[in-house]
Amino acid sequence: MPGIWHTTTFQSVQQQTLVTGQKRNSREFQQGPEDGSGSKRLTTSALRLPRPPPQLTASAIQAVPLSGSTIAGHLSSEYTQRKKFPSTPTAFDDPLLSLSHPRYGLPGRLVANFATLGINTIYPWQKQCLLGPGLIQGEKNLVYSAPTGGGKSLVADILMLKRVLEDRDVKAILVLPYVALIQEKVRWLRSVVSGISRQRHLGQQPQEGQKLWAARADKDSIRIVGFFGGSKIRSTWADFDIAVCTMEKANSLINTAIEDCTITKLRSVVLDECHMIDDGHRGYILELLATKLLCLDQDVQIVAMSATLTNIAVLKNWLCGHSYETHYRPIPIEEHLVYDNKVYPASTTTSLLKAIAQTNSNATTQSSAQPLKTIAPSSHVEFKDSVLNAVVALANETVRAGYGALVFSSSRAGCESDAVLISRVLPTFQEASPGIQKKRADLLSDLRSLSTGLDPKLEQTIPSGVAFHHAGLTTEERELVATAYDSGILKVCVATCSLAAGINLPARRVILHNARMGRDLVGPAMLRQMRGRAGRKGKDEVGETYLCCRQNDLEDVVDLMHADLPQIESCLISDKRRTQRALLEIIAIRLATSREALDGYASKTMLAYTAEAVAIQKTLEESLQELQKIGFVEVDRFGNYQATKLGNAIVASSLDPEDGIFIYNEWHKALQAFVLDGEMHVLYNFTPVHDLGGISVNWRVFWNEMQQLDESGLRVLRFLGLSPVFVNKMLHGGTLKETTTEEKDTARRYYRFYLALQLRDLCNEVPIHRVAQKYDMPRGSVQSLAQTCEGFAAGMIKFCEVMDWGAIAAALCHFTDRLKAGARSDLLALAKITFVKSRTARIFWDNGFKTVAAVANADLNEILPVLLQAQPNKARLEVKDEQKYKEKLLAKAKIIADSANRLWRMLSHPPVPLF
């Protein structure tokens, strides 16, 4: 089967994946004997699970009797993230700990919603922070630091919601670094504001047209929208009340609002994970957007927060605000180092290092580093490695005690391997309670019913209550795994280190399978992020962390455990391209055009608080000269700076100046002979231009797909200067050099064309898992590529519009719709219906539902067979269970029919403007 992918094109794939009405697997679930409680257990044969590998036994963990000094050292861990409080006061002790207190001025419905979500009172530190000078009134900015799990997000939520609820025309922006966090936050905020109507600003009198507008309830509710990936790049305030954005999207929103003078509606901006501001890759964008707001000198409250801030005073001075810092954590954490099959308190690791040095030098001095526990060596060859043996033993101990464990591994492959091995020592599916059996069976059913099908390793691990969570899984798979773990259906979740800050999955015990991300040690901030996941509020009395390390890593790991967090500073000056982008943006949106105004802008950056004034002036001068040299900026007859058409196009499309030069050169060349009789040239221009060096190209696939290109595709290949001879050379061990600018541009073209081949398949209804299999890519990476390309395509459309290349922009718009739908042109209308995308849309079409009206007027029982056909190899259940499965599909059919009806009404009766 794998060989097919290297000899055929996407048409062959479609013949296999788009056939409708094929006979589904008729294997039936069976029920086992009653378990004594009157209910029947599902057996392994009932689930049709693959035959599991032999069960293994986890090593025993034995406690070591402790001396008084060791106990004292353990209790006073020098790494602890919290200060000891004798108790946490309640609202009875302090009325200000209740959100209903008049000092906070929150609507009763909002307080009730918080209570429904489990927030009845706040912590003393949250009270002290909220009541800081001018914060509740929105008169002052705020910078604060609190440990992960300490409730820091609630403070920002209250301040932001208070601003938005005061006036129905007010807008707010919440900035988060990762898409998964944005999606989670959008769901949370929508629950918080459910049923709340906004007030009209005091003294504001609605006009006649506005009365009609105010009569609609949906206009009074708070609209919370997530902006990331493929969402609109040129959004306006009309799209939301609270925008939850990536850094890039937030910066684009603010640029747009300043340019069209609607920025006055913005009242609150929240910067979460603000320690990332010194991340030169993308975090510096936080500095750009915050500095613009400071330059406006208007009523915008900036709230910046992080769990890993050290020099908080720098941010306080830069933002001209109030600062607050706490180490309080409601669930204490006990921290440990696991080395050589022994568990040590984190506080004694320095003594441990000295003891090992003494042992190596044959010294006999008594060490104070005494282990708390010992882990017996394993007789299984699978657990020969002591670190792996410790990870499995600790996870097993946690689960058998009735708690959940979160394991961090250094790679995706490591995640899956750890999950499989941990599952082999845990209680089997048959040993679980009937209720848990049913829920795990339902989870497997939900995963199997996804368009990507069920991952074989998840199929192996989930029956034992174990799963993995990494970027190689699709968004839908990760959400199902995270929800199941959070609800206790799964007991162990194994995740990559890089997802530590991108997931919110607390656990009783956090286990680190070494402290590496790939080959490199993680930094102090990342280590705290991972350890901070220990301890579930309301479920655990304490959290535990175990860092398992090898002998050759011991010294570095001990240093890491005791390392101070790095000082945050501006990274604008470390790379002139960042300064160039900052200057180009403010000139293009006309926030500053004179040299005096540019100097004023520079004085309000964080750079002004972390670098020498002479160095800043030199960087500004050099950057302005470079921007003029490359044609992004020019000086008018009054001596002021203004962006050229190209400069404006780069800012509008949210490109870095260096990437903008490459894009312009590509488009300038393409306009001379754009290939429009095929798909490849358009799709090539949809592929991103940044971070391409991390792409793994399977040159065998590249070669075979190149051989299958039609005449149009071959013309694109020649036009881009891509050589079959070079691809063949790479296939036989060649090297893709990226030393000079010319070599980097050439490498970009090969990477982008390889990605364009994947986009071509996605646009032609090849399922994500098939594309992943074909190009030897993780499914999650293919899905992420599609989402990233949607956003980049929107930027390219805006680039062409600003450059007055209207005809090209129109062609790009059409393919953007196809990329979102994952389908050919004939399915674009159907693909606007909820749950109807790509292969599902094609099955609807082939079954006679070729228009939105046809779906809208269909009976649910007519839609149900179509959905059954769309399920990938769904194993049939016996009558009772199949009826339940059909009920789930009928609920999905109802959502599809309702969505189709809404679309049909919009098409048939478009809304009439009030003015």
HEC profile of 472-508? CCCHHHHHHHHHHHHCCCCCEEEEEHHHCCCCCCCEC
> Quick check: 379 pLDDT over 70?
yes
Q: What pLDDT shows up at residue 21?
A: 37
More confident site: 370 or 645: 645
Q: What pLDDT shows up at residue 784?
A: 86
Backbone angles phi, psi at 613, to 5 degrees: -60, -35
Mark whether 739 and 682 lie in a shared domain: yes
Task: Over range 817-826, report the average pLDDT.
Answer: 84
* Domain containing residue 494: CATH number: 3.40.50.300
- Where does residue 215 rank: exposed (0-12), middle (13-18), buried (19+ CB within 10 A)? exposed
Start-to-end C-alpha separation, the chain: 61
Q: Which of 323, 289, 317, 288 is nearest to 305 (CA)?
A: 323
> Quick check: 876 pLDDT over 70?
no
List, in sequence order, every beta strand (DSSP E) within 115-229: 141-145, 171-175, 224-227
> Quick check: 31 pLDDT over 60?
no
Last residue of a domain, one of 325, 352, 367: 325
Question: How many whole angstroms separate alpha carbon 413 and alpha carbon 470?
Answer: 10
- Average pLDDT value for the chain: 82
pLDDT tens profile 753-808? 999 999 999 988 888 888 999 998 888 889 888 888 888 888 899 999 999 988 88
Question: pLDDT category, 594, cuts 50, 70, 90?
Answer: very high
Question: How many whole angstroms separate alpha carbon 185 and alpha carbon 305?
Answer: 15
Q: Which of 51, 9, 24, 11 is nearest to 707 (CA)?
A: 9
Q: Which of 685, 821, 803 is nearest to 753 (CA)?
A: 685
- Where does residue 812 rank: exposed (0-12), middle (13-18), buried (19+ CB within 10 A)? buried
Mark whether 587 and 663 lie in a shared domain: no
pLDDT tens profile 171-185? 999 999 888 888 889
Q: Which of 200, 192, 243, 197 is nearest to 217 (CA)?
A: 197
Question: How many whole angstroms separate alpha carbon 225 and alpha carbon 242?
Answer: 7
Mark whether 364 and 242 lie in a shared domain: no
Neighbouring C-beta atoms of residue 594, cutoff 10 Å: 12
Whether the CB-CB separation of 148 and 532 falls below 8 Å is answered with yes
What is the chain's length?
915
Question: pLDDT category, 630, cuts 50, 70, 90?
Answer: very high
Mark whether 251 and 351 lie in a shared domain: no
Strand partners, 492: 405, 466
Mark whether 157 and 177 lie in a shared domain: yes
| 58 occurs within a structural domain | no
Task: Over range 285-298, report the average pLDDT.
Answer: 92
pLDDT tens profile 208-262? 333 333 333 445 789 999 988 654 445 567 788 999 999 999 999 999 899 888 8
| 52 occurs within a structural domain | no
> Token pair 């994970």 is at which residue?
273
Task: Over range 139-163, report the average pLDDT.
Answer: 92
* Domain containing residue 740: CATH number: 1.10.3380.20
For residue 575, which amino acid is it?
A: D
3 state DSSP class of 41: strand
Neighbouring C-beta atoms of residue 829, cutoff 10 Å: 19
**Ranges of H-type helices in 449-575:** 456-461, 475-486, 524-531, 554-561
> Quick check: 115 pLDDT over 60?
yes
> Token pair 């691990």 is at which residue?
461
Q: What does the block give as tokens for 540?
A: 């655990």
Q: What pLDDT shows up at residue 597?
A: 94
Question: pLDDT category, 648, cuts 50, 70, 90?
Answer: very high
Last residue of a domain, one of 537, 561, 585: 561
Residues 6+ apart with CB under 8 A from 278: 284, 566, 568, 569, 570, 571
| 850 occurs within a structural domain | yes
| 272 occurs within a structural domain | yes
Question: pLDDT category, 23, cuts 50, 70, 90?
Answer: very low
> Quick check: 13 pLDDT over 50?
no
For residue 793, which amino acid is it?
A: A
Give the global pTM.
0.84
Q: What does the block give as tokens for 451?
A: 């368009």
Residue 683 belongs to domain spanning: 657-811
More confident site: 229 or 560: 560
3 state DSSP class of 302: strand
Q: What pLDDT shows up at residue 749?
A: 94
Mark whether 394 and 270 lie in a shared domain: no
Question: How many whole angstroms separate alpha carbon 628 and alpha carbon 634?
Answer: 6
Mark whether 285 and 345 lie in a shared domain: no
| 348 occurs within a structural domain | yes
Mark whether 544 and 587 lie in a shared domain: no
Question: How many whole angstroms separate alpha carbon 836 and alpha carbon 827?
Answer: 10
3 state DSSP class of 834: coil
For residue 235, which amino acid is it?
A: S
Mean pLDDT is lowest, of 43-52, 304-313, 362-371, 610-619, for: 43-52
Q: What does the block give as tokens for 322?
A: 């109030």
Mean pLDDT is lowest, of 28-37, 302-311, 366-375, 835-844, for: 28-37
Q: What total number of domains does the chain contain?
A: 5
pLDDT tens profile 886-910? 777 888 888 999 989 988 888 776 5
| 73 occurs within a structural domain | no
Question: How many whole angstroms separate alpha carbon 389 and alpha carbon 790?
Answer: 44
Last residue of a domain, one of 285, 309, 325: 325
Whether the CB-CB separation of 30 and 878 falls below 8 Å is answered with yes
| 79 occurs within a structural domain | no
Mark whether 298 and 370 lie in a shared domain: no
Mark whether 483 and 425 lie in a shared domain: yes
Mean pLDDT is lowest, of 72-76, 186-190, 633-637, for: 72-76
| 5 occurs within a structural domain | no
Q: What pLDDT shows up at residue 807?
A: 80
CA dihedral 676, 680, 681, 685 (to 10 degrees): 130
Mark whether 773 and 706 lie in a shared domain: yes
Mark whether 790 and 892 lie in a shared domain: no
Q: What pLDDT shows up at residue 874?
A: 47
What is the DSSP code (8-state) at residue 634? E
Mean pLDDT is lowest, of 18-32, 384-398, 626-640, 869-883, for: 18-32
pLDDT tens profile 726-762? 999 999 988 888 889 899 999 999 999 999 999 999 9
Q: What pLDDT shows up at residue 135?
A: 95
